[in-house]
Amino acid sequence: MTLEIIWIALVAACWGGYPLVARASGYGGPLGTLVLALAGLLPITLAVLWQGGAERPPPGALARLAVAGVLMGSGLLAFNRLANSRLDASISIPIVDTAMLIVTTLGAIYFFQEAVTARKLVGFALLVAGIAVLRPA
């Protein structure tokens, strides 16, 4: 479980930090998003090369990955636009991140038939409460 904690911390640091650095650039919009996406390919390409390449996914998995990529790119466009808006970053970014967790939770329950437990319901309610508390006036 220790390795998972390290990965979680790395995701939190990178995904929590990049919107702040992007906002500090003062530049958003589609071109700013393109720069983010292209720069994001660098560590991914290095990881693929480090592993010596990988086998190609079957067509069904490749199609799902392509759809996921379109969703990711569309979300990045919207996120970058929002991150450079007049809303406080300490409000807008946590709300977006929390809303993303809500969508993921509902999707995992629906698409993967994951169990709905009391613990998940409490966590879900806390996520919703967090958005309610942070919502812009």
**pLDDT tens-digit series, residues 24-52:** 888 888 998 999 999 999 999 999 889 88
Structure tokens at 6: 């390290």
* Residue 136, pLDDT score: 84
* Residue 1, pLDDT score: 67
Contacts of 33 (CB under 8 A, 6+ apart): 73, 76, 77, 80, 81
* Residue 122, pLDDT score: 97
**pTM more than 0.75:** yes
Mean pLDDT by 10 residues, the chain (137 residues): 89 90 87 93 91 84 94 91 84 91 94 96 95 89
